Amino acid sequence: MRIDHVQVAGPPGCEEDARAFYGGVLGLREMEKPDALRDRGGVWFEHLHVGVEEGFRPARKAHPALLVEDLDALAARIGDVEWDDAVPGVRRFYARDPFGNRLEFLQRP
């Protein structure tokens, strides 16, 4: 078993901000949503979907963890990050998406 994708939520009308952050800053490849799901809003990226949630509240503890090759370069692109050295042998930081959802980024040796 393996994970196909994770979904984070955003408020109604979040699509352009999601594209700018997840596609632009993080470099995730956008996927076309199936016709039957387009009216629900949101935007899909490879392995990560942003869904629209009425009454949206950001996830402050729950989060996806994304493995990256150049953690320092990504931290520079994001800007506001919180480094965490609690796991031995793993470099990682936390950041927030444009909607306040917590995201973890890590690099293994």
pLDDT digits (tens, 9 = 90+) for 94-106: 999 999 999 999 9
85 three-state secondary structure: coil
pLDDT band at 109 (very low <50, low <70, confident <90, very high): confident
Task: Render pLDDT for 9-66 as a digit per residue (tens, 0 to 9).
Answer: 999 999 999 999 999 999 999 999 999 999 999 999 999 999 999 999 999 999 999 9
Q: Confirm if 10 and 50 have CB atoms less than 8 A apart.
A: yes
CATH of the domain at 11: 3.10.180.10
Please check whether residue 73 lies inside any domain of the structure. Answer: yes
Structural domain includes residue 1: no
17 domain residue, yes or no: yes
Q: How far apart are CA 84 and CA 39, in angstroms?
A: 39
Q: Is there a domain that residue 89 lies in?
A: yes
Looking up tokens 């990226």 gives: 45
Q: Residue 87 domain-assigned?
A: yes
Give the pLDDT confidence of 1-15 residue by residue, as tens digits: 999 999 999 999 999
